[in-house]
Amino acid sequence: MSIHGKNFIGNKLSATGDKSSKIYDINSGNALDGDFYHATSYEVNTALQLANKAFIVYKQKTQNQRADFLDAIADEIMNLGDELILRTMSESNLPRPRIEGERGRTMGQIKMFATLLRDGSWVEASIDTALPNRTPLARNDLRKMLRPLGIVSVFEASNFPLAFACAGGDTASALAAGCPVIVKAHSSHSGTSELIASAIIKAVKKCDMPSGTFCMVHGSGRSVGQQIVMDERVKAVGFTGSTQGGMNLFNIANKRKTPIPVFAEMGSINPCVFLPSSLEDTKKLASMYAFSITLGVGQFCTNPGLILAIKGAKLEEFKSDLKKEIEASSPAIMLSKSIQESYEENKNKAIEQDGIILLAQATQENTSSQGRAVFTSVDAEVFIQNNKLQEEVFGPYCLLVECKDIKELNEAISCLDGQLTATVMGSNSEIVEHINLISNLENKCGRILFNSVPTGVEVCHSMQHGGPFPASTDSRFTSVGTGAIKRFVRPVCFQDCPSEILPQELKDENPLNIFRILNGENTKNSV
Protein backbone atom coordinates (compact mmCIF):
# COMPACT_ATOMS: atom_id res chain seq x y z
CA MET A 1 0.00 0.00 0.00
CA SER A 2 1.08 3.61 -0.37
CA ILE A 3 1.75 6.01 2.46
CA HIS A 4 -1.31 8.24 2.72
CA GLY A 5 -0.09 10.73 5.31
CA LYS A 6 -3.47 10.75 7.02
CA ASN A 7 -4.97 10.07 10.41
CA PHE A 8 -6.62 6.73 11.13
CA ILE A 9 -9.87 7.60 12.90
CA GLY A 10 -12.10 4.61 13.47
CA ASN A 11 -12.09 2.59 10.27
CA LYS A 12 -11.51 5.60 8.04
CA LEU A 13 -8.67 7.78 6.81
CA SER A 14 -9.01 11.48 7.53
CA ALA A 15 -6.86 14.54 6.82
CA THR A 16 -8.31 18.02 7.09
CA GLY A 17 -5.55 19.77 9.02
CA ASP A 18 -3.81 22.72 7.43
CA LYS A 19 -0.48 21.74 8.93
CA SER A 20 1.60 18.83 7.72
CA SER A 21 5.13 17.52 8.06
CA LYS A 22 7.41 15.32 5.97
CA ILE A 23 9.85 12.57 6.87
CA TYR A 24 13.35 12.47 5.41
CA ASP A 25 15.63 9.53 4.75
CA ILE A 26 18.15 9.75 7.58
CA ASN A 27 21.04 8.72 5.28
CA SER A 28 20.37 10.56 2.02
CA GLY A 29 18.35 13.45 3.40
CA ASN A 30 15.79 12.96 0.62
CA ALA A 31 12.10 13.41 1.43
CA LEU A 32 10.17 10.16 1.79
CA ASP A 33 6.64 9.63 0.48
CA GLY A 34 3.83 11.20 2.45
CA ASP A 35 2.76 14.53 3.92
CA PHE A 36 1.66 13.77 7.45
CA TYR A 37 -1.31 15.91 8.43
CA HIS A 38 -1.59 16.99 12.04
CA ALA A 39 -4.98 16.07 13.46
CA THR A 40 -7.36 18.95 14.04
CA SER A 41 -9.17 19.39 17.34
CA TYR A 42 -12.32 18.19 15.58
CA GLU A 43 -10.60 15.01 14.36
CA VAL A 44 -9.21 14.26 17.83
CA ASN A 45 -12.67 14.71 19.32
CA THR A 46 -14.15 12.43 16.65
CA ALA A 47 -11.59 9.75 17.53
CA LEU A 48 -12.49 10.11 21.22
CA GLN A 49 -16.21 9.86 20.48
CA LEU A 50 -15.74 6.71 18.42
CA ALA A 51 -13.44 5.12 21.01
CA ASN A 52 -15.87 5.91 23.82
CA LYS A 53 -18.73 4.35 21.90
CA ALA A 54 -16.58 1.34 20.97
CA PHE A 55 -15.67 0.67 24.61
CA ILE A 56 -19.20 -0.35 25.55
CA VAL A 57 -19.18 -3.02 22.83
CA TYR A 58 -15.51 -4.02 22.86
CA LYS A 59 -15.27 -4.72 26.59
CA GLN A 60 -18.10 -7.26 26.22
CA LYS A 61 -16.21 -9.26 23.61
CA THR A 62 -15.13 -12.63 24.96
CA GLN A 63 -11.50 -13.31 25.69
CA ASN A 64 -11.38 -15.71 22.75
CA GLN A 65 -12.78 -13.02 20.44
CA ARG A 66 -10.15 -10.53 21.58
CA ALA A 67 -7.49 -13.21 21.21
CA ASP A 68 -8.56 -13.84 17.62
CA PHE A 69 -8.40 -10.08 17.02
CA LEU A 70 -4.83 -9.89 18.33
CA ASP A 71 -3.78 -12.83 16.17
CA ALA A 72 -5.31 -11.08 13.17
CA ILE A 73 -3.30 -7.93 13.92
CA ALA A 74 -0.07 -9.95 13.98
CA ASP A 75 -0.99 -11.65 10.71
CA GLU A 76 -1.80 -8.34 8.99
CA ILE A 77 1.51 -6.84 10.14
CA MET A 78 3.32 -9.78 8.60
CA ASN A 79 1.31 -9.30 5.40
CA LEU A 80 2.87 -5.84 5.01
CA GLY A 81 6.00 -7.69 3.95
CA ASP A 82 9.09 -5.88 2.77
CA GLU A 83 7.34 -2.52 2.45
CA LEU A 84 7.30 -2.22 6.24
CA ILE A 85 10.94 -3.28 6.59
CA LEU A 86 12.21 -0.85 3.95
CA ARG A 87 10.17 2.09 5.24
CA THR A 88 11.32 1.55 8.82
CA MET A 89 14.94 1.28 7.70
CA SER A 90 14.67 4.58 5.81
CA GLU A 91 13.11 6.40 8.75
CA SER A 92 15.32 5.03 11.52
CA ASN A 93 18.61 3.91 9.93
CA LEU A 94 18.21 0.63 11.80
CA PRO A 95 19.61 -2.33 9.81
CA ARG A 96 17.40 -4.96 8.23
CA PRO A 97 18.24 -7.72 10.79
CA ARG A 98 17.30 -5.38 13.66
CA ILE A 99 13.99 -4.40 12.01
CA GLU A 100 13.12 -7.98 11.11
CA GLY A 101 13.95 -9.04 14.66
CA GLU A 102 11.85 -6.23 16.08
CA ARG A 103 8.95 -7.17 13.81
CA GLY A 104 9.20 -10.73 15.12
CA ARG A 105 9.23 -9.46 18.69
CA THR A 106 6.20 -7.25 18.00
CA MET A 107 4.16 -10.10 16.56
CA GLY A 108 5.42 -12.41 19.31
CA GLN A 109 4.22 -10.16 22.11
CA ILE A 110 0.84 -9.63 20.40
CA LYS A 111 0.37 -13.39 20.12
CA MET A 112 1.61 -13.80 23.70
CA PHE A 113 -1.32 -11.70 24.89
CA ALA A 114 -3.65 -13.74 22.69
CA THR A 115 -2.43 -16.89 24.46
CA LEU A 116 -2.90 -15.19 27.82
CA LEU A 117 -6.51 -14.35 26.96
CA ARG A 118 -7.30 -17.91 25.91
CA ASP A 119 -5.94 -19.22 29.21
CA GLY A 120 -8.08 -16.67 31.07
CA SER A 121 -6.58 -16.96 34.55
CA TRP A 122 -5.11 -13.43 34.41
CA VAL A 123 -8.50 -11.89 35.31
CA GLU A 124 -8.09 -13.16 38.91
CA ALA A 125 -11.70 -14.25 39.17
CA SER A 126 -12.87 -15.00 42.70
CA ILE A 127 -16.27 -16.16 43.94
CA ASP A 128 -17.70 -16.20 47.45
CA THR A 129 -21.17 -17.67 47.15
CA ALA A 130 -24.03 -16.54 49.37
CA LEU A 131 -24.38 -17.96 52.87
CA PRO A 132 -27.99 -17.07 53.75
CA ASN A 133 -28.03 -19.18 56.91
CA ARG A 134 -24.78 -17.86 58.38
CA THR A 135 -25.09 -16.34 61.84
CA PRO A 136 -25.09 -13.80 63.22
CA LEU A 137 -25.16 -12.24 59.70
CA ALA A 138 -25.87 -13.79 56.32
CA ARG A 139 -23.37 -13.33 53.48
CA ASN A 140 -24.24 -11.97 50.06
CA ASP A 141 -23.06 -13.60 46.85
CA LEU A 142 -19.79 -11.80 45.94
CA ARG A 143 -17.86 -12.22 42.72
CA LYS A 144 -14.81 -10.20 41.68
CA MET A 145 -12.54 -9.98 38.66
CA LEU A 146 -10.37 -7.53 36.72
CA ARG A 147 -12.27 -5.39 34.21
CA PRO A 148 -11.00 -2.92 31.53
CA LEU A 149 -10.47 0.74 32.47
CA GLY A 150 -11.62 2.42 29.24
CA ILE A 151 -9.90 4.38 26.49
CA VAL A 152 -6.09 4.17 26.64
CA SER A 153 -3.91 6.86 25.05
CA VAL A 154 -0.60 5.46 23.76
CA PHE A 155 2.42 7.60 22.86
CA GLU A 156 4.92 5.94 20.56
CA ALA A 157 8.59 5.65 21.50
CA SER A 158 11.36 6.88 19.20
CA ASN A 159 13.91 4.09 19.68
CA PHE A 160 11.68 1.09 18.89
CA PRO A 161 9.55 2.02 15.84
CA LEU A 162 7.74 -1.35 15.99
CA ALA A 163 7.97 -2.97 19.44
CA PHE A 164 7.23 0.19 21.46
CA ALA A 165 5.14 1.99 18.90
CA CYS A 166 1.81 1.71 17.10
CA ALA A 167 1.26 -2.02 17.73
CA GLY A 168 3.80 -2.29 20.54
CA GLY A 169 3.42 -3.57 24.07
CA ASP A 170 1.22 -0.70 25.30
CA THR A 171 -1.28 -1.08 22.46
CA ALA A 172 -1.27 -4.89 22.58
CA SER A 173 -1.78 -5.07 26.34
CA ALA A 174 -4.51 -2.41 26.31
CA LEU A 175 -6.43 -4.14 23.50
CA ALA A 176 -6.00 -7.46 25.31
CA ALA A 177 -7.46 -5.91 28.45
CA GLY A 178 -10.56 -4.81 26.53
CA CYS A 179 -9.65 -1.14 26.14
CA PRO A 180 -9.91 0.89 22.92
CA VAL A 181 -6.62 2.58 22.00
CA ILE A 182 -5.81 6.00 20.54
CA VAL A 183 -2.17 6.17 19.39
CA LYS A 184 -0.28 9.45 18.99
CA ALA A 185 2.22 8.68 16.23
CA HIS A 186 5.88 9.62 16.72
CA SER A 187 7.07 12.24 14.25
CA SER A 188 10.33 10.43 13.50
CA HIS A 189 8.71 7.35 11.96
CA SER A 190 5.28 8.50 10.76
CA GLY A 191 5.29 6.32 7.65
CA THR A 192 6.06 3.19 9.64
CA SER A 193 3.23 4.05 12.01
CA GLU A 194 0.78 4.45 9.16
CA LEU A 195 1.62 1.05 7.71
CA ILE A 196 1.12 -0.61 11.10
CA ALA A 197 -2.10 1.36 11.70
CA SER A 198 -3.44 0.15 8.35
CA ALA A 199 -2.78 -3.45 9.45
CA ILE A 200 -4.64 -2.95 12.73
CA ILE A 201 -7.61 -1.35 10.93
CA LYS A 202 -7.78 -4.36 8.59
CA ALA A 203 -7.87 -6.64 11.62
CA VAL A 204 -10.64 -4.51 13.19
CA LYS A 205 -12.79 -4.99 10.09
CA LYS A 206 -11.86 -8.66 9.64
CA CYS A 207 -12.85 -9.49 13.24
CA ASP A 208 -15.95 -7.28 13.26
CA MET A 209 -14.70 -5.12 16.09
CA PRO A 210 -16.48 -1.77 16.62
CA SER A 211 -15.22 1.28 14.75
CA GLY A 212 -13.12 3.25 17.21
CA THR A 213 -11.50 0.20 18.82
CA PHE A 214 -8.27 1.60 17.39
CA CYS A 215 -7.41 5.11 16.16
CA MET A 216 -4.10 6.79 15.32
CA VAL A 217 -3.42 10.50 14.87
CA HIS A 218 -0.43 12.63 13.89
CA GLY A 219 0.49 15.91 15.53
CA SER A 220 2.50 17.52 18.29
CA GLY A 221 2.44 16.34 21.89
CA ARG A 222 1.67 19.86 23.06
CA SER A 223 -1.53 20.16 21.05
CA VAL A 224 -2.84 16.79 19.91
CA GLY A 225 -1.32 14.81 22.77
CA GLN A 226 -2.47 17.24 25.44
CA GLN A 227 -6.03 17.34 24.07
CA ILE A 228 -6.24 13.55 24.25
CA VAL A 229 -4.85 13.24 27.78
CA MET A 230 -6.99 16.08 29.12
CA ASP A 231 -10.20 14.55 27.80
CA GLU A 232 -12.31 12.97 30.55
CA ARG A 233 -13.16 10.01 28.33
CA VAL A 234 -9.54 8.82 28.42
CA LYS A 235 -8.84 6.56 31.41
CA ALA A 236 -5.10 5.76 31.18
CA VAL A 237 -1.90 6.69 29.33
CA GLY A 238 0.99 4.52 28.12
CA PHE A 239 4.30 6.26 27.37
CA THR A 240 7.93 5.31 26.69
CA GLY A 241 10.47 8.10 26.36
CA SER A 242 12.30 10.85 28.20
CA THR A 243 11.78 11.87 31.81
CA GLN A 244 10.65 15.32 30.70
CA GLY A 245 8.09 13.91 28.26
CA GLY A 246 6.74 11.40 30.77
CA MET A 247 6.47 13.95 33.56
CA ASN A 248 4.69 16.44 31.28
CA LEU A 249 1.99 13.83 30.62
CA PHE A 250 1.90 12.83 34.29
CA ASN A 251 1.36 16.42 35.40
CA ILE A 252 -1.34 17.03 32.76
CA ALA A 253 -3.19 13.87 33.82
CA ASN A 254 -3.14 14.92 37.46
CA LYS A 255 -4.59 18.36 36.71
CA ARG A 256 -7.73 16.87 35.21
CA LYS A 257 -11.06 16.92 37.00
CA THR A 258 -10.63 13.15 37.21
CA PRO A 259 -6.91 12.26 37.48
CA ILE A 260 -5.86 9.14 35.60
CA PRO A 261 -2.83 6.83 35.75
CA VAL A 262 0.09 7.57 33.44
CA PHE A 263 2.25 4.50 32.98
CA ALA A 264 5.44 6.17 31.81
CA GLU A 265 8.71 4.32 31.33
CA MET A 266 11.32 7.08 31.43
CA GLY A 267 15.04 7.64 31.93
CA SER A 268 17.45 5.12 33.46
CA ILE A 269 21.23 4.88 33.65
CA ASN A 270 21.18 1.19 34.71
CA PRO A 271 24.02 1.01 37.28
CA CYS A 272 26.45 -1.89 37.04
CA VAL A 273 28.34 -2.80 40.23
CA PHE A 274 31.71 -4.49 39.73
CA LEU A 275 32.78 -6.41 42.83
CA PRO A 276 36.56 -7.02 43.01
CA SER A 277 36.34 -10.66 41.83
CA SER A 278 34.74 -9.56 38.54
CA LEU A 279 37.97 -7.80 37.54
CA GLU A 280 40.05 -10.96 37.16
CA ASP A 281 39.80 -10.89 33.35
CA THR A 282 39.67 -7.18 32.59
CA LYS A 283 39.98 -7.57 28.81
CA LYS A 284 36.95 -9.87 28.62
CA LEU A 285 34.94 -7.60 30.92
CA ALA A 286 35.88 -4.48 28.94
CA SER A 287 34.94 -6.14 25.66
CA MET A 288 31.58 -7.25 27.05
CA TYR A 289 30.70 -3.80 28.36
CA ALA A 290 32.02 -1.87 25.37
CA PHE A 291 29.71 -3.91 23.18
CA SER A 292 26.75 -3.21 25.46
CA ILE A 293 27.51 0.52 25.74
CA THR A 294 27.74 1.00 21.97
CA LEU A 295 25.02 -1.48 20.95
CA GLY A 296 22.43 0.33 18.84
CA VAL A 297 24.51 3.53 19.32
CA GLY A 298 23.51 3.40 22.98
CA GLN A 299 19.84 4.03 22.15
CA PHE A 300 18.38 1.41 24.48
CA CYS A 301 16.55 2.23 27.69
CA THR A 302 18.71 -0.43 29.38
CA ASN A 303 22.06 0.93 28.16
CA PRO A 304 24.74 0.57 30.92
CA GLY A 305 25.36 4.27 31.55
CA LEU A 306 26.95 3.86 34.99
CA ILE A 307 29.62 1.55 36.42
CA LEU A 308 30.51 1.52 40.12
CA ALA A 309 33.69 -0.19 41.33
CA ILE A 310 36.36 -0.09 44.05
CA LYS A 311 39.72 1.54 43.27
CA GLY A 312 42.75 -0.65 42.79
CA ALA A 313 45.29 -1.98 40.30
CA LYS A 314 42.76 -4.26 38.59
CA LEU A 315 40.32 -1.37 38.12
CA GLU A 316 43.13 0.60 36.46
CA GLU A 317 43.64 -2.32 34.07
CA PHE A 318 39.93 -2.37 33.30
CA LYS A 319 39.91 1.38 32.64
CA SER A 320 42.79 0.96 30.21
CA ASP A 321 41.11 -1.95 28.42
CA LEU A 322 37.72 -0.22 28.15
CA LYS A 323 39.47 2.96 26.97
CA LYS A 324 40.99 1.01 24.06
CA GLU A 325 37.63 -0.58 23.21
CA ILE A 326 35.81 2.76 23.19
CA GLU A 327 38.51 4.47 21.12
CA ALA A 328 38.34 1.65 18.58
CA SER A 329 34.54 1.86 18.27
CA SER A 330 33.02 3.44 15.19
CA PRO A 331 30.51 6.29 15.42
CA ALA A 332 27.17 5.38 13.86
CA ILE A 333 24.11 7.27 12.70
CA MET A 334 21.55 7.70 15.46
CA LEU A 335 17.78 7.35 15.09
CA SER A 336 17.22 10.97 14.18
CA LYS A 337 19.05 14.29 13.90
CA SER A 338 17.22 15.60 16.97
CA ILE A 339 18.30 12.59 19.06
CA GLN A 340 21.91 13.05 17.92
CA GLU A 341 21.82 16.76 18.78
CA SER A 342 20.34 16.00 22.18
CA TYR A 343 23.07 13.40 22.78
CA GLU A 344 25.81 15.88 21.94
CA GLU A 345 24.29 18.53 24.22
CA ASN A 346 23.75 16.21 27.20
CA LYS A 347 27.13 14.52 26.74
CA ASN A 348 28.92 17.88 26.79
CA LYS A 349 26.98 19.00 29.88
CA ALA A 350 27.99 15.80 31.65
CA ILE A 351 31.67 16.12 30.74
CA GLU A 352 31.72 19.73 31.93
CA GLN A 353 30.64 18.79 35.47
CA ASP A 354 33.27 19.30 38.19
CA GLY A 355 35.37 16.22 38.84
CA ILE A 356 34.57 14.43 35.57
CA ILE A 357 37.56 12.97 33.74
CA LEU A 358 37.22 12.20 30.03
CA LEU A 359 38.95 8.82 29.68
CA ALA A 360 38.14 7.95 26.07
CA GLN A 361 35.97 8.64 23.06
CA ALA A 362 35.69 7.07 19.66
CA THR A 363 38.65 8.37 17.64
CA GLN A 364 37.08 7.98 14.21
CA GLU A 365 35.68 11.29 13.02
CA ASN A 366 31.95 11.39 13.23
CA THR A 367 29.68 13.04 10.70
CA SER A 368 26.25 14.60 10.96
CA SER A 369 23.70 12.48 12.87
CA GLN A 370 26.36 10.08 14.19
CA GLY A 371 26.89 9.29 17.87
CA ARG A 372 30.42 9.06 19.22
CA ALA A 373 31.00 6.72 22.20
CA VAL A 374 32.38 8.34 25.37
CA PHE A 375 33.86 6.88 28.59
CA THR A 376 34.32 9.09 31.67
CA SER A 377 35.11 8.66 35.36
CA VAL A 378 34.56 10.45 38.68
CA ASP A 379 35.36 9.88 42.34
CA ALA A 380 32.47 8.50 44.38
CA GLU A 381 32.64 11.43 46.80
CA VAL A 382 31.88 13.84 43.94
CA PHE A 383 29.21 11.58 42.47
CA ILE A 384 27.37 11.31 45.78
CA GLN A 385 27.22 15.09 46.12
CA ASN A 386 26.14 15.91 42.56
CA ASN A 387 22.76 14.50 41.49
CA LYS A 388 23.22 15.91 37.97
CA LEU A 389 25.68 13.09 37.32
CA GLN A 390 22.70 10.72 37.45
CA GLU A 391 20.91 12.37 34.52
CA GLU A 392 20.57 10.04 31.55
CA VAL A 393 22.71 10.75 28.50
CA PHE A 394 20.73 8.89 25.83
CA GLY A 395 23.41 7.43 23.63
CA PRO A 396 26.76 5.56 23.88
CA TYR A 397 27.93 7.27 27.07
CA CYS A 398 29.20 5.62 30.27
CA LEU A 399 30.42 7.03 33.60
CA LEU A 400 32.68 5.05 35.96
CA VAL A 401 32.30 5.89 39.66
CA GLU A 402 35.48 5.02 41.57
CA CYS A 403 34.96 4.15 45.23
CA LYS A 404 37.54 3.96 48.03
CA ASP A 405 36.08 0.84 49.62
CA ILE A 406 32.94 -1.27 49.98
CA LYS A 407 31.44 1.23 52.42
CA GLU A 408 31.69 4.09 49.91
CA LEU A 409 30.34 1.78 47.20
CA ASN A 410 27.28 1.19 49.36
CA GLU A 411 26.91 4.92 49.95
CA ALA A 412 27.01 5.57 46.21
CA ILE A 413 24.32 2.94 45.66
CA SER A 414 22.19 4.48 48.41
CA CYS A 415 22.14 7.85 46.65
CA LEU A 416 20.96 6.40 43.33
CA ASP A 417 17.59 7.34 41.87
CA GLY A 418 15.18 4.64 40.71
CA GLN A 419 16.34 2.54 37.76
CA LEU A 420 14.93 0.06 35.26
CA THR A 421 17.82 -2.32 35.88
CA ALA A 422 20.82 -2.83 38.14
CA THR A 423 23.63 -5.31 37.54
CA VAL A 424 26.08 -7.06 39.86
CA MET A 425 29.31 -8.58 38.56
CA GLY A 426 31.23 -10.94 40.83
CA SER A 427 31.71 -14.51 42.03
CA ASN A 428 28.85 -16.29 43.78
CA SER A 429 30.73 -16.35 47.08
CA GLU A 430 31.48 -12.62 46.90
CA ILE A 431 27.86 -11.82 46.02
CA VAL A 432 26.66 -13.85 49.00
CA GLU A 433 29.22 -12.12 51.21
CA HIS A 434 27.76 -8.72 50.27
CA ILE A 435 24.07 -9.59 50.55
CA ASN A 436 23.32 -6.23 52.21
CA LEU A 437 24.78 -4.41 49.22
CA ILE A 438 22.63 -6.54 46.91
CA SER A 439 19.55 -5.75 49.00
CA ASN A 440 20.43 -2.06 48.83
CA LEU A 441 20.72 -2.27 45.04
CA GLU A 442 17.45 -4.22 44.72
CA ASN A 443 15.62 -1.28 46.33
CA LYS A 444 16.71 0.90 43.41
CA CYS A 445 15.52 -1.12 40.41
CA GLY A 446 12.82 -3.19 38.78
CA ARG A 447 15.18 -5.91 37.48
CA ILE A 448 18.45 -6.98 39.06
CA LEU A 449 20.93 -8.92 36.92
CA PHE A 450 23.95 -10.99 37.88
CA ASN A 451 27.09 -11.38 35.75
CA SER A 452 25.57 -10.10 32.54
CA VAL A 453 24.82 -6.82 30.74
CA PRO A 454 21.49 -5.00 31.06
CA THR A 455 20.83 -4.50 27.33
CA GLY A 456 18.15 -6.89 26.10
CA VAL A 457 14.63 -7.33 27.46
CA GLU A 458 12.99 -10.75 27.16
CA VAL A 459 9.26 -10.67 26.44
CA CYS A 460 7.82 -13.25 28.85
CA HIS A 461 5.71 -13.75 31.96
CA SER A 462 8.53 -13.08 34.44
CA MET A 463 9.94 -9.88 32.93
CA GLN A 464 9.76 -6.64 34.92
CA HIS A 465 10.41 -3.56 32.79
CA GLY A 466 9.76 -0.65 35.10
CA GLY A 467 11.27 0.55 38.34
CA PRO A 468 11.15 3.11 41.13
CA PHE A 469 10.71 6.75 40.10
CA PRO A 470 12.06 8.31 37.92
CA ALA A 471 12.60 5.12 35.90
CA SER A 472 8.83 4.85 35.74
CA THR A 473 5.83 6.57 37.29
CA ASP A 474 4.56 3.41 38.99
CA SER A 475 7.06 0.75 40.03
CA ARG A 476 4.32 -1.84 40.64
CA PHE A 477 3.81 -2.42 36.91
CA THR A 478 5.77 -3.56 33.87
CA SER A 479 5.54 -2.38 30.26
CA VAL A 480 6.99 -5.65 28.91
CA GLY A 481 5.62 -9.16 29.39
CA THR A 482 2.16 -10.45 30.21
CA GLY A 483 2.06 -8.44 33.43
CA ALA A 484 1.67 -5.29 31.29
CA ILE A 485 -2.04 -6.03 30.94
CA LYS A 486 -2.58 -5.27 34.64
CA ARG A 487 -2.00 -1.56 33.98
CA PHE A 488 -5.25 -1.18 32.09
CA VAL A 489 -7.71 -3.04 34.30
CA ARG A 490 -9.26 -2.57 37.73
CA PRO A 491 -11.04 -4.97 40.13
CA VAL A 492 -14.83 -4.90 40.09
CA CYS A 493 -17.04 -6.79 42.55
CA PHE A 494 -20.50 -8.01 41.49
CA GLN A 495 -22.80 -8.49 44.50
CA ASP A 496 -25.95 -10.63 44.10
CA CYS A 497 -25.71 -10.12 40.33
CA PRO A 498 -28.17 -11.98 38.08
CA SER A 499 -26.35 -14.83 36.38
CA GLU A 500 -27.58 -13.75 32.96
CA ILE A 501 -25.51 -10.54 33.00
CA LEU A 502 -22.45 -11.77 34.89
CA PRO A 503 -19.17 -11.77 32.95
CA GLN A 504 -18.53 -15.29 31.66
CA GLU A 505 -15.55 -15.72 33.97
CA LEU A 506 -17.72 -15.29 37.08
CA LYS A 507 -20.51 -17.70 36.15
CA ASP A 508 -20.86 -20.94 38.08
CA GLU A 509 -20.35 -23.06 34.99
CA ASN A 510 -17.43 -21.31 33.36
CA PRO A 511 -16.21 -22.92 30.10
CA LEU A 512 -12.85 -21.11 30.23
CA ASN A 513 -9.73 -22.62 31.75
CA ILE A 514 -9.56 -20.12 34.62
CA PHE A 515 -8.10 -20.20 38.10
CA ARG A 516 -10.68 -19.02 40.59
CA ILE A 517 -11.07 -18.73 44.35
CA LEU A 518 -14.35 -20.35 45.30
CA ASN A 519 -15.32 -19.90 48.93
CA GLY A 520 -11.68 -19.57 49.90
CA GLU A 521 -10.45 -22.64 47.95
CA ASN A 522 -8.36 -22.54 44.76
CA THR A 523 -10.05 -24.26 41.85
CA LYS A 524 -9.35 -24.63 38.16
CA ASN A 525 -12.03 -25.49 35.64
CA SER A 526 -11.31 -27.80 32.74
CA VAL A 527 -11.87 -26.64 29.20
CA neighbor of 87 nearest in space, from 73, 72, 103: 103
Compute how many other C-beta atoms are within 10 angstroms of the C-beta atom of residue 410: 17
- Kindly state the helix (H) or strand (E) to which residue 377 belongs, with its residue range: strand 374-379
Active-site residue, 317 included? no
CA neighbor of 61 nearest in space, from 271, 186, 242, 207: 207
Task: Classify 118 as helix, strand or coil.
Answer: helix
CA distance from start to end of the chain: 41
Q: Residues 373, 332: contact at Cβ < 8 Å?
A: no
Amino acid identity of residue 296, one-letter, is G
Amino acid identity of residue 137, one-letter, is L
d(CA 267, CA 265): 7
Q: What is the CA radius of gyration of the chain?
A: 25
Task: Classify 434 as helix, strand or coil.
Answer: coil
Question: If DSSP states are collapsed to H, E and C, what string results for 153-218?
Answer: EEECCCCCCCCCCCCCHHHHHHHHHCCCEEEECCHHHHHHHHHHHHHHHHHHHHCCCCCCCEEEEC
Q: Dihedral (C-alpha) 74, 79, 84, 85: value to the nearest 10 degrees?
A: 90
DSSP alpha helix (H) spans, 329-377: 337-351
Q: Which residues contact 156 (CB under 8 A, 6 or more apart)?
A: 164, 165, 166, 168, 183, 184, 185, 186, 189, 193, 240
Among candidate residues 76, 265, 392, 408, the one labeled active-site is 265
> What does DSSP say about strands 20-21 and 36-37: parallel, antiparallel, or unpaired?
antiparallel
Binning the chain into helix, strand and coil, the percentages to the nearest 5 are 40, 20, 35
**Beta strands, E only, 223-326:** 234-240, 262-265, 271-274, 306-310
The DSSP 8-state label assigned to residue 222 in this structure reads: I
Task: Classify 77 as helix, strand or coil.
Answer: helix
Whether a cis peptide bond, with omega within 30° of 0, leads into 132 is no
Active-site residue, 391 included? no
Counting every residue, how long is the chain?
527
d(CA 325, CA 232): 52
d(CA 199, CA 362): 41
Among candidate residues 301, 398, 403, 445, the one labeled active-site is 301
Q: Residues 164, 157: contact at Cβ < 8 Å?
A: yes
Burial of 525 (0-12, 13-18, 19+ CB in 10 A): middle
Residues tagged active-site: 265, 301
